[in-house]
Amino acid sequence: MANCAHVSKLVLRLAQIVFALIAFAAAASLNQNWPSPDTSILSAVRFMVFTGVLAFLLAIFYAIVCCVEGLKRTFSGLVEVLINGLWVIFWMAAAASFAAYQPCKYKDFDARFTRCDVFITAQAFAWLSWLLWIASLAISIIEMRRGEGFSGGSKRYPMGTAPAIV
């Protein structure tokens, strides 16, 4: 039976799926519709698509891992901490690369719909995804420190309560 922590992890993973989908879909639309003279941002757009698609797939995978005990023992612990840490870095890099792009700053907006609106949407959901992956990283670190999720590792015991070895 799933306890409250596992349900919250599942909800967190579902939010990551939705936010990654929005971020990479917006970036993918920019990749196809970007004006040809200004190609300076295309590498950042493609990195956002890469980060979003893989984060989307990883979040789906870890949503499944939350529900399957055999997978939970194999893909949690240090493995989950490393994957979450890597994706925190990737989302921060993708969002920061969009934030550094000067032509789509807030002061340049006008009343009609522009590419910058889609660009800012992708950037906003990238930052929100970054926050969600930080939360996943924190939860996975806490679980790893408690000894939960190790396939072959030992569970920590409070001081003086460890079973006696004969």
Going from N- to C-terminal start, the domains of the chain cover 4-31+41-146
Residues of the chain with pLDDT under 70: 1-5, 33-39, 105-113, 148-166
Task: Tell me the H-state helices in the chain.
Answer: 4-33, 42-67, 69-75, 78-99, 115-146
Read off the amino acid at residue 145: R
Instruction: Give me the pLDDT at residue 57, please.
Output: 95
φ, ψ (nearest 5 deg) of residue 157: -120, 145
Per-residue pLDDT of 34-62, as tens digits, reads: 665 566 778 888 899 999 999 999 999 98
Instruction: Give me the pLDDT at residue 151, please.
Output: 44
Residue whose pair of structure tokens reads 């009343």 in the numeric block:
111
CA–CA gap between residue 141 and residue 145 (Å, rounded): 6
Instruction: Give me the pLDDT at residue 115, please.
Output: 75
CA count, 13 A, side-chain hemisphere, 48: 34
CA–CA gap between residue 143 and residue 146 (Å, rounded): 5
